[in-house]
Structure 1
Amino acid sequence: MTSLDIPGPQVRTTAGMVKGLVDEQLGIRTWRGVPFGASTGGDNRFRAPRRPRHWRGVRDATTFGPPAPQPTYSWTDRVIGSENCLHLDIVRPDTDDELPVVVYLHGGSFIMGSSHEPLLRGYEFAKSVDCVYVSVNFRLGALGYLDLRSLDEDCVANPALRDQLLALKWVQANIAQFGGDPDRVTLMGESAGGAAAATLMAVPSAAGLFHRAIVQSPPMTMIHSRAQATLWARELVYQMALPRLTTLADLRAEHPYDLVRAGQSMMWRGRELQHLNTTYAPTVDGTLLLDHPLSVFDSGDQVKVPLLVGTNSDETSFSKFFYMRTSARSRAALRLLSAFDPEEASYVLSAYDGARDRAQFADLLADALFWAPSVRLATDHNPLAPTWMYRFDYAPAALRWLGLGAMHSLELTAIFGDPGASRTSGLARFGGMEGMAELTDVMQYHWGHFIHHGRPGDDWPAYQPPTDTAPARATMVFDAPARVEHDPKAGKRRAWADYDMTEWGHGRPELLEELGLLISTELGR
């Protein structure tokens, strides 16, 4: 007997019939590995995604599709995944109710991750929040987040971003067949997925494809400038040991795993991370993404939907162990700040007492990557659409003892309500998890209320300027217990106010000149 012989929920999509399965023990229905796009390999590599081919009969949707090609960070250089990766997974309660929809974009530094990571499968989340949960695969790393137009125009600058757009269009066309309401779609993502969600809010063609957004720990300073796009395209060719005049046709002839390995090599062997120059990210391309998302929000041209945004209090606590000497930490902090805005760098640094000790350095890095840009998003979005901000402070006792605290992505354990699937699940054996169950209930209540009604619960005030009856910048702090703070870290927020986070490379004139991008007073895009 095959899986197609076993009874399961059958649904017609625009490409053909799919059959999922019912888990009676969990009380859910799920469809796995449903194609929303064609293979991105061969001639389709680096190009805009295409809709999937129609199929006859009933397609088995009981097993997960392959993730995008990516490294494994093992002792070897093993790569996993397939370029036939444009699949999504759907989970909903085992009812016939019409429910709001969540489209989730996974994190993983733009190089790793999948729709079906154990914590992100959404079984408990869909049931607790009472929604149709859609988790999306998209291209990653050198195959999804590099702008290669400096090599050849026969490509698009943002393959992964276009994959995500295609998935949202698929949801609009198909989700009603799964019992989802296409007029109540929440776009949600964490880390790189949070940056992708915020970036899509800055893409004009995304308007109407979602109706609220949840943006968790988005590293918005990573968005690539033209300088970064040119630098990393050149470096990929070098790491592939190909001639300087290599074309996209040459790169399409290479095995995808070799491109992944070359992409990893150029990320780790260079010294660009000390300048906050990350290898992969969406690119300001002037066609799909017209400007840096922070600039789009500043000008008021973003998609105007209710927004819930926030960060964790110890996002980059691991960086406490980067430098042994005080002077080295301070120099490193100034160097990374100066890569964007050399004029304001010293002023920002002074708000952290020069980032001389380990905790100050970690706070500065976390704020530069996550908190300061999130505050900018919330500040600029609030006048145009309802906005709420949070900070996640909860940490198991073991993480507090290690000095790591509420580190990056830890909030996912509470939101998805599946602590056994978390990477930190092993810490539970050491105790110190008091209050986690209650915190999970609180966060799922607010996330669910937002997903259903476009606003969290009434005890979470909006993030807005002060009024005659309320103080400014209310921030929900998720800890045991949760509480509301107003304008947290106000002094540091003010220090970031005039710092330009939108154009990497201003502090690297020698590199810009080498790349041929030093143009009078500003960079061309």
Structure 2
Amino acid sequence: MKTKNGTIAGLKEGDILSYRGVPYAKPPVGSLRFMPAQKAESWEGVLDASSFGAACPQTKKYRSSSEDCLTLNIWTPGTDQKERPVFFYIHGGSFCAGTGSDPEYNGTNLAKNGDVVVVTINYRLGALGFLDFSFLGEEFSPNCGLSDIVMALSWVHENIAAFGGDPHNITVLGQSAGAIAASVLPVMPAARKYVSKVIMMSGGPSLLYTKAQYQEVARKFLKFMGIKSARELKAMDVRTLVAKQRKFASHCGLGDGTFMIEVDGGLVPEYPIPAAAQGAARDIPILIGTTKEEMSFLCIKVLSKVLDISKILRRNIDQEKEEVKARLKAAYRRYGKRAESMMLTDRVFRMASVWYAEVYNQYANTWMYRFDYETPAMKAVALRACHSCDIPFVFGNYHAGHYKWMFLLPSIKTTRRVSREIQQDFVSFAKGEKLGWQECCGIDTPAKCYDKYFSVIPMVDPEIEKEYDKSEFKRQSLRGLNAVHIG
């Protein structure tokens, strides 16, 4: 297979061809360590694309990790001239963990079932990808990890036709941190030219930092690590640099909100919600979804520290006036013991997504969905439809990676039916078809609900949504201020 950089050889697995570990940018090493992604150089001969590239450095253990990690993976039904829709997937992991080669993101089933091309990527993580050390000098740049994503998009736009994909029909699909990135791309001048459509799975479009806020976090990181100069930071062994990232996240009180995209005035000129309100994402359709109870792990003691975010959100809630706090608390009483979980689900994921949809639909087709389905195993542990539980249904990988436990009890018939439904809707959206439920219009935000049975419901309970109208959270989100308070 010929690309603009050279020839590659992949694998044939049944009806699907796969190409793994394909470099889309120069290795970000040496003088490029804290700089924006640079175009990949060409190579001689045939590049072996039969195995995945190294994971980007992180505290999570992988068989192979390296700073030379900017690679992507492609699954395609064929390399003929058919112009198939392209899914460009951005993995989650709080911008500090994960890789495009994680087994739960294997694109084989989605590519086969939808007759689409699936691309997954690696991008720089943690301090290497998202802290802003630019106050140390010109050899440091903010949003390096985001620049990687844009460079990967550019590579796909230039090369995907050779893999049977349509370069003018790229749907950016992101989950969690990947969905935050997906919310930013259509309003970014450097990226929107590559983006045809966007699907956000459980992302918070208000969860970005200002430059001043994020440089303060970077300064705290340097102090925590005992790094006293730019030279020392650039020369530090990568294993030492990333080894204490989790400890730093706990130390600074930001938990899984420590590493994030910055509104830097350059690559990212504005927060997504106010940018969309000004028409920055004009004519780029979007599908925005969340699970029913993203934060349900808070109800289970042993899992309550999986995402270290509840402390931040409680601090965020404390910013509200007493009258607003009292009304919100009363509104969530209907959920009983799960009241805090549901409130935090709305404050982290759902409310900002609704406000994004409300401004976005003025300029582009906008749909919403909710994933409420719980497998028997999920019900057995009372976890509910939690954060990330829709991933195996979208990719059709029921026994891969972190999600095997969800399918330990018999449920295969219903599982396949729900998976088929959400896959079909995602593929229809990618093909540019009208989805089978009402679009968002003004402040009306209906959502398709994926459950044992499918229905259309309000994205947020209208009584609860009303209580946010006069909240500080809504005011900050619409103005483009950081919704997570840094103390």
Note if contact 1:475-1:485 (Cα within 8 Å) is conserved in structure 2.
Answer: yes
2:166 to 173, 181, 193: 181
Paired residue type of 2:482? W
More off after superposition, 58-67 vs 314-323: 314-323
Name 1:482's counterpart in structure 2: 454
The answer to whether 1:22 aligns with 2:7 is: no
Tell me how far apart the structure 2 counterparts of residues 331 and 280 of structure 1 sit (CA, whole Å): 16
Name 2:281's counterpart in structure 1: 302
Paired residue type of 2:52? F
Tell me how far apart the structure 2 counterparts of residues 434 and 335 of structure 1 sit (CA, whole Å): 43
SS in 2 for 1:423: helix
Distance 1:312 1:92, change over 3 A: same
1:337 to 299, 310, 317: 317
Tell me how far apart the structure 1 counterparts of residues 100 and 286 of structure 2 sit (CA, whole Å): 23
Note if contact 1:212-1:306 (Cα within 8 Å) is conserved in structure 2.
Answer: yes
Note if contact 2:368-2:448 (Cα within 8 Å) is conserved in structure 1.
Answer: yes
SS in 2 for 1:221: coil
Distance 1:349 1:204, change over 3 A: farther
Note if contact 1:71-1:79 (Cα within 8 Å) is conserved in structure 2.
Answer: no
Q: Deviations over 1:404-458 (max 9, x none)?
A: 10001111111111211152323433335652111111111111111112533xx
Distance 1:21 1:491, change over 3 A: same
The answer to whether 1:395 aligns with 2:385 is: no
Distance 1:412 1:507, change over 3 A: closer
Note if contact 2:186-2:195 (Cα within 8 Å) is conserved in structure 1.
Answer: no
Note if contact 1:204-1:302 (Cα within 8 Å) is conserved in structure 2.
Answer: no
Name 1:287's counterpart in structure 2: 266
| Deviation of 1:373 (Å) | 1.1
Paired residue type of 2:57? P
Tell me how far apart the structure 1 counterparts of residues 312 and 24 of structure 2 sit (CA, whole Å): 44
- What are the equivalent positions in structure 2 for 1:39-438 lying under 5 Å apart? 39-72=27-60, 81-94=65-78, 96=80, 97-243=82-228, 246-247=229-230, 249-273=231-255, 278-321=257-300, 334-338=314-318, 342-343=319-320, 347=324, 350-353=327-330, 358-432=337-411, 435-438=414-417
Name 1:522's counterpart in structure 2: none
| Deviation of 1:309 (Å) | 0.6
More off after superposition, 292-301 vs 312-321: 292-301
Tell me how far apart the structure 1 counterparts of residues 123 and 484 of structure 2 sit (CA, whole Å): 31
| Deviation of 1:291 (Å) | 1.4
Tell me how far apart the structure 2 counterparts of residues 65 and 79 of structure 1 sit (CA, whole Å): 11
Q: Gaps (5+ residues) in structure 1? A: 1-10, 324-328, 467-471, 512-525
Note if contact 1:12-1:177 (Cα within 8 Å) is conserved in structure 2.
Answer: yes
Tell me how far apart the structure 1 counterparts of residues 199 and 485 of structure 2 sit (CA, whole Å): 33
Q: Between the two proteins, what is the percent identity of the paired residues?
A: 30
Q: TM-score, normalised by structure 1?
A: 0.84
Note if contact 2:101-2:120 (Cα within 8 Å) is conserved in structure 1.
Answer: yes
SS in 2 for 1:110: coil
Q: Deviations over 1:346-395 (max 9, x none)?
A: 51562232878641111111111111111111111111100110000001
Tell me how far apart the structure 2 counterparts of residues 377 and 167 of structure 1 sit (CA, whole Å): 25
Q: TM-score, normalised by structure 2?
A: 0.91
Paired residue type of 1:503? L
Distance 1:269 1:54, change over 3 A: same
| Deviation of 1:153 (Å) | 3.6
Q: Deviations over 1:76-126 (max 9, x none)?
A: xx9962111110001011462331111111111111111111110110001
SS in 1 for 2:431: helix
Distance 1:330 1:365, change over 3 A: closer
Q: Deviations over 1:470-517 (max 9, x none)?
A: xx4221000011111145411222233352234238966xx5xxxxxx
Tell me how far apart the structure 2 counterparts of residues 407 and 117 of structure 1 sit (CA, whole Å): 19
Q: Deviations over 1:265-320 (max 9, x none)?
A: 211233334xxx82101001011111111221233323531101110011011122
Tell me how far apart the structure 2 counterparts of residues 133 and 309 of structure 1 sit (CA, whole Å): 19
Name 2:437's counterpart in structure 1: 460
| Deviation of 1:49 (Å) | 0.9
SS in 2 for 1:420: coil
Note if contact 2:56-2:124 (Cα within 8 Å) is conserved in structure 1.
Answer: yes
Note if contact 2:220-2:252 (Cα within 8 Å) is conserved in structure 1.
Answer: no
Distance 1:347 1:267, change over 3 A: same
Note if contact 1:333-1:355 (Cα within 8 Å) is conserved in structure 2.
Answer: no
Tell me how far apart the structure 1 counterparts of residues 158 and 9 of structure 2 sit (CA, whole Å): 18
Paired residue type of 2:236? E
Rg: which structure is higher? Answer: 1
Paired residue type of 2:249? M
| Deviation of 1:397 (Å) | 2.2
SS in 2 for 1:189: strand
Distance 1:99 1:487, change over 3 A: closer
Note if contact 2:183-2:272 (Cα within 8 Å) is conserved in structure 1.
Answer: yes
Note if contact 1:334-1:349 (Cα within 8 Å) is conserved in structure 2.
Answer: no
SS in 1 for 2:135: coil
Note if contact 1:72-1:80 (Cα within 8 Å) is conserved in structure 2.
Answer: no
Tell me how far apart the structure 2 counterparts of residues 322 and 297 of structure 1 sit (CA, whole Å): 39
Note if contact 1:309-1:378 (Cα within 8 Å) is conserved in structure 2.
Answer: yes
Paired residue type of 1:463? C
| Deviation of 1:35 (Å) | 0.6
Note if contact 1:239-1:265 (Cα within 8 Å) is conserved in structure 2.
Answer: no
Paired residue type of 2:56? A
1:496 to 460, 465, 468: 468
Tell me how far apart the structure 1 counterparts of residues 18 and 485 of structure 2 sit (CA, whole Å): 50
More off after superposition, 428-437 vs 349-358: 349-358
Q: Gaps (5+ residues) in structure 2? A: 303-308
Distance 1:330 1:382, change over 3 A: closer
Tell me how far apart the structure 2 counterparts of residues 504 and 424 of structure 1 sit (CA, whole Å): 32
Note if contact 2:370-2:459 (Cα within 8 Å) is conserved in structure 1.
Answer: no
Tell me how far apart the structure 1 counterparts of residues 484 and 108 of structure 2 sit (CA, whole Å): 45
| Deviation of 1:463 (Å) | 1.6
Distance 1:351 1:179, change over 3 A: same
Tell me how far apart the structure 1 counterparts of residues 345 and 182 of structure 2 sit (CA, whole Å): 19
